[in-house]
Structure 1
Amino acid sequence: MFAHPAWLAGIAAAALLAAGYAAAARRGRRRALPFGNLATLARVAGGRRAPLRHAPAAALLAATALLAIALAGPVGETKVARNRATVMLVVDVSYSMGSADVAPDRLSAAKAAGADFIADLPADLNVGLVTFSGRARTPVAPTTDHDRVARALAGAQLDTATATGDAIMAALEAVEALDAALPGGQGPPPASVVLLSDGKQTIPAELDAPRGAYTAADEAARRGVPVSTISFGTAEGTVIIDGERVPVPTDDASLAEIAARTGGAFHAAGTAGELQEAYADLAEDIGWELRREEDPRPWTIAALAVAALGAAAAAADARRAP
């Protein structure tokens, strides 16, 4: 795709000039035939070779075509950072995250993958952290100090119950607080939430209760904040609570519904490797964007390089002349 395609006519002009030059060269050879022995003439002329003699003209025509492409403004996709954005990382720290169905356990694997996710985000992007069990905590409000967020995640501890709706609302409140603190003029930066959990909400019992996850998801959608979710763990996960082994299977359905209601993405990860992949995909989608931009530089450089080669060939040919 080109921003100024009319300049591509320069390629046709270069082709016409090339055809005219070739025709003129053929006529010149025909006129030279009646003048005797061509081998003798070549020795007198210093042994000049046809390829070198035509190289300057060929280079000039090629440079013209390349310059025409550059002037046409070739458009390509460039990966650029979304520096003006906010991401809230929301991590489940309920007791079910202590299950060892993912080595060494779900929470340890989530901490390692979360640290990589934070490191993959653009440096100027605001990142905050919410951890939740029976209640939501915001250890780090949105900040560009990504190391601080990673340290807070590393220090997260297991606790009882799962209040997913409260966690989503805590993330939305952190985003709103940042927006209120920013100077006016540009408007609030785009925000998104990345929620990692392994099990079903337990507080409150109903997902569509006033504090439920679906109610919070609907509020996120109303505010234009997508919530991407990761269901982490397997159906065989268990933990020991009060001396009893308790099953803690993942709840893909509710997490997928949260993402669907808010326009976010849903990922299911049953291994540490799959979790790394899910976070990497989200970091790519959230932290970066493809922007269509004109980039004539490669073609301009190529045109100049070919023109320089043509000039060098012309100089070499001139030195061979008697």
Structure 2
Amino acid sequence: MTFLWPEMLWGLIAVPLLVLLYVWLLRRRKKSSLRYASLGLVKEAMGKSVAWRRHLPPALLLTAITALLIAAGRPAAVITLPTAEKTIVLAIDVSGSMRATDVQPDRMTAAKEAAKAFVADLPRTVRIAVVQFAGTAAVVQAPTLSREDVVAAIERFQLQRGTAIGSGIVLSLATLFPDAGIDLSQITGQREMPPAPGDKPKPVFTPVPPGSYGSAAIILLTDGQRTTGPDPVEAAKMAADRGVRVYTVGIGTKEGETIGFEGWSMRVRLDEDTLKNISNMTRADYYYAGTAADLKQVYQGLSTRLIVEKKETEISALFAAAGALLVVLAAGLSVWWFGRVA
């Protein structure tokens, strides 16, 4: 816990002074009561049960003063809160290896069903975009609040050749930051056109700490290794420099699977090392799903994790409310037991 106005905490020095003052007043009252023998008889008749009642209201009042003094210092703490607004990009591998049946009924169908369940679990305030990647990458659904449009985009997936994991990451970043001037020439295969005389200059890019951008995240699912496109690690560095977390999900058997497609066959193997590097660089996590049930559990966990965020929030109101409640409680007990506030 930190304090925005720490100098106000010097007021806490008054708390032990008030305790000493209270003890001094008790001793003074005790000396005065010794002058009257009848008071001692009354005290003995009342018993020891009343003694703690006499001290409880002042103790509550001192605790209230302490809480109010802490509130004056404007304390702040990192607490978990629901996200007010967020954009999540689902970057999903649609390479030919996704037709493998080691994940039942096949990798692509399992990925589609898990993604649709994930979309259904997210709050309606979260925008979702969908990027597919194989030999190239494409935005099949721009960020939207419409769950129906996202599900329709997922259903339109078509298997293609190649695996360009880096392209999926770069295009996801360009989707999140459309005005950032991210170079997509490696993805589209087209040369970047020189700026026209009337065009605005590209904004100056300033890197931020990895994982610091809390308004967006990328969830990347793949089952193989990069065969084309930009280096996934370099693409992950671009995401890290923009503070975007890239959660990676590996699907399929770790040992690999031999698949056939249009007269040719190949053995595909999950590149876990690269996926772990991507998640580590962007301060996210890597998840492995060997079955369709595992994949659904991964997405369920991500759904719960991404709809909340940890933020440093001022909690002065909590201490102030606790202090006010304790003052009321102390006064109420004093009136109830002794018929007076003080």
Does TM-score exceed 0.5, indicating one fold? yes
Identity of paired residues, percent? 29
Deviation at 1:295, TM superposition (A): 0.3
Matches within 5 A, 1:1-322: 1=1, 2-42=3-43, 49-80=50-81, 86-119=87-120, 123-153=124-154, 155-164=155-164, 167-168=168-169, 170-175=171-176, 177=178, 193-202=218-227, 207=228, 212-214=229-231, 218=234, 221=237, 224=241, 228-234=247-253, 235-241=255-261, 247-255=267-275, 263=282, 265=284, 267-271=286-290, 272=292, 275-276=295-296, 279=299, 288-319=308-339
Kept in 2: contact 1:135–1:166 (CA 8 A)? yes
Give the 3-state SS of the residue equivalent to 1:213 in structure 2: coil
2:314 is aligned with what amino acid? Answer: E
CA contact (8 A) 1:93 1:132 kept: yes
Shift in Å, 1:304: 1.7
- Structure 2 unaligned runs (5+)? 182-203, 206-212
> Counterparts of 1:201 and 1:297 in 2: how far apart (Å)?
52
RMSD across aligned positions (CA): 4.1
Retained in 1: the 8 A contact 2:169–2:235?
no
TM-score, normalised via structure 2 length: 0.69
Distance 2:75 2:51 in 1: 35
1:184 matched residue in structure 2: none
Q: TM-score, normalised by structure 1?
A: 0.73
Q: Distance in 2 between matches of 1:317 and 1:176?
A: 65
Q: What code does the residue aligned with 2:128 have?
A: V
CA deviation profile, 1:3-59 (whole Å, cap 9, x unmatched):
2233333433122212222222122222322322445445999x9934334443333
1:131-189 CA distances to partner (integer Å, 9 max, x unpaired)?
Answer: 23455443211223244213422x14452412415545544554454779xxxxxx999
TM-aligned CA deviation for residue 219 of structure 1: 6.4
**Residue 20 of structure 2 aligns to a residue in which SS?**
helix
Q: How many residues align?
A: 302
- Describe the shift of the 1:256–1:317 C-alpha distance in structure 2 as closer, same or farther (beyond 3 A): closer
**Aligned residue in 1 for 2:210:** none
Indicate the SS of the match to 2:34.
Answer: helix
Amino acid at match of 2:222: S
Amino acid of the structure 1 residue aligned with 2:230? A
Which structure shows the bigger proportion of residues in helix conformation?
1
Cα distance in 2 between the residues matched to 1:178 and 1:122: 26
3-state secondary structure, aligned to 1:138: strand
Moved more, 228-237 or 289-298: 228-237
The separation in 1 between residues aligned to 2:52 and 2:159, in whole angstroms, is: 81
Aligned equivalents of 2:146, 2:258: Cα separation in 1: 36
Native 8 Å contact 1:101 1:238 kept in 2: no
Change (3 A) 1:73 1:267: same
SS at match of 1:34: coil
Q: Which runs of 5+ in 1 are unaligned?
A: 181-186
1:103-145: CA deviations, max 9, x gaps?
3332233223323544565644432112234554432112232
> Is the alpha carbon distance of 1:94 and 1:30 closer, same or farther for their aligned partners in structure 2, counting shifts above 3 Å?
same
Counterpart AA for 1:213: P
Q: Distance in 1 between matches of 2:282 and 2:331?
A: 58
What code does the residue aligned with 1:95 have? Answer: G
Shift of 1:65: 1.5
Distance of aligned partners of 1:65 and 1:106 in 2 relative to their CA distance in 1, 3 Å threshold:
same
